Amino acid sequence: MSPSQPNDSAQIRRTFLDFFAQRGHEVVPSAPLVPQNDPTLMFVNAGMVQFKDVFTGKDRRPYTRAASSQKCIRISGKHNDLENVGVTARHQTFFEMLGNFSFGDYFKEEAIVYAWDLLTKVYGVSPSRLIVTVYNGEGGFPKDDEAAAIWRKVTGFGEDRIRALGLADNFWTMGDTGPCGPCSEIHYFHGGEPDPSRFGEEPRIDGSGWTEIWNNVFMQYDRAEKDGPVVPLPAASVDTGMGLERIASVLQGVTSNYDTDLLRGLVDRAAELSGKRYTGSTSADDVSMRVIADHARTSAFLIAEGVMPERQKREYVLRRVMRRAIRHGHRLGIERPFLHEVALEVVRRMGDVYPELKDRRELIARVTEDEEVRFRATLKRGMKILDDRFGEMRSQGKTTLPAEAAADLYTTYGFPLDLTEVISAEQKFGVDVAGAEAIIHGAEGVEGPINPEAALDPAFREARALLKEPVVFTGYEEEAGDSEVVALIQVEGQLDHAEGQPDRTRARPKRTLVQRAEAGTRVEIVVSRTPFYAESGGQVGDAGKISAAGLRVEVKDTQKPLLGLVVHEGVVREGAIEVGQKVHLEVDHAARTATRRNHSATHVLHWALRKVLGEHAQQKGSRVGPDTLRFDFAHNKPVTAKEIEQIEDLVNAKILTNETVQTEVLSMDEAKKRGAMAIFEEKYGDTVRMLSMSSEVVELCGGTHAKALGDIGLFKIVGEAGVAAGVRRLFAETGLNALTHVRKLEGDIGRARQAARATGGDLATKIEKLVAHERELEKKVSDLERRLAEGGGPGQGSGGGIDGLLEGARDIGGTKVLARRVADGTSGAALREIAEKLRDKLGERSAVLLGSVVGDKAQLALMVSKAATDRLKAGEIIRPVAKLVGGSGGGRPDMAQAGGTEVGQLDAAIAAAYAEFERALG
């Protein structure tokens, strides 16, 4: 292990791996981003994915401890923050996850000690800037008192620094299936003085505030099937993850991940190509540069693994990312293909660590440039049409682009509506956006979102042309029915759908209209009428089967790629399917019924939220499936326990009325007169579908619903979290799932009562007394530690407390400076705290450098007052001093730290600090 505290990302990564290698861990290379033999994931999103079978006992390795730096992508499924990328300081689609793992070897105590030692003793992170969290037992699993006790022993933290949080924050799952268990997170405070009272608030846009940097997951359970029971793992294990970008921002003294050496070079390349200056602000230009940097990195890594931009699954995700970056380049005024140049900067900067980037350098450049050329052609056609329109409008004295013109650009050419808005605004024109959306999303009832990329695929447009009229949805009345195959799209290349892996050897999938498809073929089937619900409005698309004599097609999803077109995505399992064939369509009844219950519950929840929190609590998003429901809404602070209780009471009281769920198709004007509320994710034409659950719950919705409120069963909120600034998220369960959750909570309370030896209603009183006593003891320990740390070091006299350390301070050009050694054994964190106190005592313009020997290492810390940073830069001062002890260092203008192995040179190095002060202030 290098004795110096690492600063650049390569050192940080290497230091992490070396730290664990020296503690018996096998350093394992990163797995590919595309999961191998794991149908549950689109991309590898955590370091533990490659060890999943080891945790479950299905696989054995020649080692029981491992460490890795895993490349990850979080852009789909439950881990999806695409819209936050570039806006916040901490979100990326691609990142590296540093992790250490134990497969039945060590458990909580060792994991916690390793994390604490690495952060505070090796990386030199100040404990005063850290808060840790543990699992509080919400959700039915045992409260993690063991982890809390270990943290208290290791850190000396009190309750304000060891927070117990619920299922959403401190219970980790890989996905719908797989290993899971309680977790313990470490959070770091970016910015000024750490403020524990701000914990739980979303970090500010600039990154200041509390941010999670390391998560220790204690794997104890496994879920083999979606919604199935959990069982204990063969051996308790550990899975930890620390984002390289986040720890780099800490150690490099910046609040934004985009200012670290991992991303700043890419941001600067985007700025250079745009001819604009990056200022690190929240301006539209700076957001665009950050988006380009992140998306170029994601694109390069995916293409290096053979993923090509297309419409299917992973390919579509890549295309979406690439075109989003291209659009941001357009907003910056970049008029020629540029994305490939930023992608090549990714190769240059990361190719040594990930050789696949260098090996696929030419492919990365070609694919990114080709995709941009094609998309720019779309933009060019659309802009030519817009320019002609603008000329007509100017001659006619009109100022708003008609809805029909904007909608035609979207449906005919795939020209994004929001880009039409941007270009029109630049030319001083408005756009009838509401009207355009109404046309795009249909004139009959509620239409779901239509994919703009689909307009560019000729197969979909050809399929729609074969329809005499839009596909009729019969699923409100039935779950099965007969129809005729109108069009059949075959996707070239065979697919093992049991594994969920596309054929990645092809350059790009090809859709072709065919008359017949044989068994084993991937198909997209168009019929004239269907009971299958196509994904929209937050409700997932239906699955099921299509059959006929000798034919069976497994339908995995139902989508709506174009206005009036519904495609049933699946695989021909038996026989062959032909255009014109009469077929029977049957929806998965169990999944549809469960989805109905959860969808109806979201509407009642929306009403209850507005009643309890206020009318501002409008829906901002949802995910409704057969398993659970997720609901996003506008609110600028966490929902309190009392408010959650009130919301649950209102929802369950409404369910108990068992009112009939009624739907009507009527005009938008009539729906508004009746007080119907529009839902965030859905778009409406002149005719809408109105849902009534009572006189109070009346909303517009095109989804499928329960027949009566009582069908929902018990409603229970199981989690609450922040999504973005001003947006909160609730997780809820209904029916038997909710009942199971309640029973687990009752079990936890019973065990707590027994552990506290409480009777009757005195459980809370007993716990409060225990906590008060603990705080009193912690305060006494903290006072003793501070007094010991402020004593003098070797050759510094007999001490005299903090004031005794001021001896030797000098005045150089009006700035008071002090460099001295303190007691050996004083940690880097303690050095910084003492130096900060001494600096404040010396006055407004001051600087203090302190040194100490800890074990076989020399430690240095330098604190500079804000007023003195105009001439003294802590990072610049400490580097030459650190070289004298055989090390290196760095930091911010007001704080820097360093270390080295030549402990015998510490006194000489401290003395040399005065020369550096003279040089800077002279």
Binding residues: 599, 603, 701, 705
Which residues, at least 6 apart from 392, have a Cβ–Cβ distance to it below 8 Å? none
CA distance 51 to 420: 47
| DSSP codes of every residue in 467-536 | -SSPPEE-TTT-SEEEEEEEEEEEESS--BTTTTB--TTSSS--EEE-SEEETT-EEEEEESEESPPPSB
Rg (CA), the chain: 31
HSE, CB side, 13 Å, CA atoms: give it for residue 770. Answer: 11
Strands (E), 287-435: 400-401, 430-431
CA distance 720 to 644: 9
CA distance 826 to 828: 7
Phi, psi of 443 (to 5 degrees): -100, -10
Which residues, at least 6 apart from 605, have a Cβ–Cβ distance to it below 8 Å? 629, 631, 647, 651, 715, 730, 732
Report the relative pairing of strands 529-530 and 472-473 from DSSP bridges: parallel
| DSSP codes of every residue in 381-403 | HHHHHHHHHHHHHHHHT--EE-H
Residue positions forming the annotated binding site for Zn(2+): 599, 603, 701, 705
CA distance 830 to 404: 67
**Residue in 372, 460, 369, 366 with CA at minimum distance from that of residue 412:** 460
Which residues, at least 6 apart from 414, have a Cβ–Cβ distance to it below 8 Å? 378, 452, 453, 454, 455, 456
Instruction: Give the CA diameter of the chain.
Output: 98
* Tokens, residue 198: 């701000």
* Tokens, residue 429: 């024109």
CA distance 803 to 813: 23
* Tokens, residue 298: 């994601």
* C-alpha dihedral, 630 to 631 to 635 to 639, nearest 10°: -50
Phi, psi of 87 (to 5 degrees): -85, -45
CA distance 675 to 697: 9
CA distance 190 to 131: 12
